[in-house]
Amino acid sequence: MTASMKDVAALAAVSIGTVSNVLNNPQMVSPKTRDRVEQAIAQLGFIPNAPARQLRAGRSKVIGLVVPDIANPFFTEVARGVEDAAMEAGFVVILCNSDEQAAREDRYLRVLESQRVGAILITPARKGIKPLQRLIANGTAVALLDHEGGTRDACSVSVDDALGGQLAASHLIGLGHRSIAWLAGPPDIPQVADRQAGILRATEEHSVLLERIVAGQMTASAGDAAVDAALARGMTPSAMVCANDLLAIGAMRALMRAGMRIPQDVSIVGYDDIDFAASAAVPLTSVRQPKYELGFAAAQLVISEFEDRRAHAHQRVRFQPQIVVRESTGSVA
């Protein structure tokens, strides 16, 4: 049978209230008594009832992390940053994958709310953040991750994606390219829209032709299929900017299958600079985001709000991207 607080109290020869204090307010118990109770807990294998303790405390030291695609290495590194910051502060992280679906995201938010998590970090699957307003109103600390959001009700940590798109296009324009394809993901993803705005800024400034290819998802297979279809329609750009590195890897696969060389025939720029961008078949030029730092900073903000809501002031943290040049881009022949 599972040991109870009553069993621990009997073995340690203390009251149930003392056991409760050891678990919840150890500073109120003398070191000698605390040691005796902790030995009894270890001997009996007692496991505290976490949900019951959460109800008494109000909210738990748990961060719900909701991301659109955990298969994307970008979000894996972001999650590492969140977890490290959480561990330092005595929090744990629950990871939820919305798969870029609003309905799935809503379900996770309801579950996290019912579990009374103390904080939520989210990269929304849509532009608006209306579903988060109820959580904020009910006292949950919320921060937007890799998303600016445009709200004063929550912190946000993001990257200047418009600048990132401009850096990618400007790099290709500087190499002499005058016909660039933009391999975009779904248009309702805010980061995709921001990157496109930056690309348009650069191409319009230099009167460069920009052709648009839309992939249904931000995955390598979607990039492969979208570029394959574009080639079948006769599209022949000398360079391509991709909305993320997974799309770029899929695009490279489709181009090489069609007999094209990278970068001799087509130069390619990705976005995110995920770990294996440098080890792709042709090392990928990419716009680097500070992935780990994004997650770490966002976690610190929601932990700060959770621990002292009155003293906390919402912040918008914006990191700057940089372009990392590798072998996938070259000058026009």
CATH number of the structural domain 59-159+291-319: 3.40.50.2300
Stated pTM of the model: 0.80
pLDDT at 247: 97
For 55-94, give the secondary structure using H, E and C: HHHCCEEEEEEEECCCCCHHHHHHHHHHHHHHHHCCCEEE
Decide whether 59-159+291-319 matches 161-288 in CATH topology. Answer: yes
Q: What is the pLDDT of residues 173-185, one digit of tens each?
A: 999 999 999 999 9
| Domains of the chain by residue range | 5-48, 59-159+291-319, 161-288
Residue 41: CA atoms inside 13 Å, Cβ hemisphere, count? Answer: 15
- Name the token pair of 92: 């744990």
Question: What is the predicted pLDDT for the residue at 127?
Answer: 66
- What kind of fold does domain 161-288 have according to CATH? Rossmann fold (3.40.50)
pLDDT of residue 240: 98
Residues of the chain short of pLDDT 70, as ranges, are: 1, 49-59, 127-129, 149-151
Length of the chain: 333
Amino acid at 311: A
Query: Which residues, including other chains, have CB under 8 Å from residue 150's CB and lie 6 or more apart?
Result: none
Question: In this predicted structure, what is the pLDDT of residue 125?
Answer: 77
Query: What SS3 class is residue 284?
Result: coil
Q: What is the pLDDT of residue 145?
A: 93
Tell me which amino acid residue 295 is.
G
User: Distance (Å, rounded) from C-alpha 85 to C-alpha 52?
Assistant: 26
pLDDT digits (tens, 9 = 90+) for 271-314: 999 988 998 889 999 999 999 999 999 999 999 999 888 888 99
5-48: which CATH topology? 434 Repressor (Amino-terminal Domain) (1.10.260)
**Predicted local distance difference test score (pLDDT) of residue 330:** 96
Q: Would you state the pLDDT for residue 324?
A: 97
